[in-house]
Structure formats: structure tokens, C-alpha cells
Amino acid sequence: MTRFERFAYATVVVALLVAWFGLARGNDALRSRAPSAQVAGGAR
């Protein structure tokens, strides 16, 4: 595996992780405004 390939994979993985955590945090914040979604979304 070339250095470029490693860099490309690492970038994609980090970008996906950031997007996932960002969405998850945003969803938690939104759930507090939507009482009915807490049931549907299984919020803590």
C-alpha cells in the first residue's frame, strides 16, 4: 500500500467519523426539542 493510499484511506475514515459524531451530537440536541421523537428515536 502506497503512502498516498494510506493517506486517502485515513482521510476518508476521519471524515466519516467526524460526520457521524457531529450528526449524533446534533441529533441529541434536537431530541431535547422534540418530545415525541424521544420515544421514536430511543434517546437517553
Partner 1 sequence: MKPPILRLLILVAIGGLSVGVASAGMARTEIENAIPMSSRELLGLVSKKGANVQVVDVRVLADDDDDVGGYQDARVPGSLPMPGCDPDKVPEQALGRVRADIPTVLVSRDGDAATFERCRKHFLRVRNLEGGMAAWSEAGLPEEDGPYVAPKPGAGGGCL
Residues in contact with partner 1 by the rule CB under 8 A: 1, 9, 12-13, 16-17, 19-20, 23-24, 26-27, 30-31, 33-34, 36-37, 40-41
* Residue 37 neighbours by CB distance under 10 Å: 14
Minimum gap (Å) between residue 13 Cβ and partner 1: 6
Pick from 6, 1, 4, 19: which is nearest to 27 by CA?
19
Measured from the CB of residue 44, what is the shortest distance to partner 1 in angstroms? 14
Are 23 and 41 in contact by the 8 Å Cβ rule? The answer is: no
Cβ at position 4, least distance to partner 1 in Å: 13
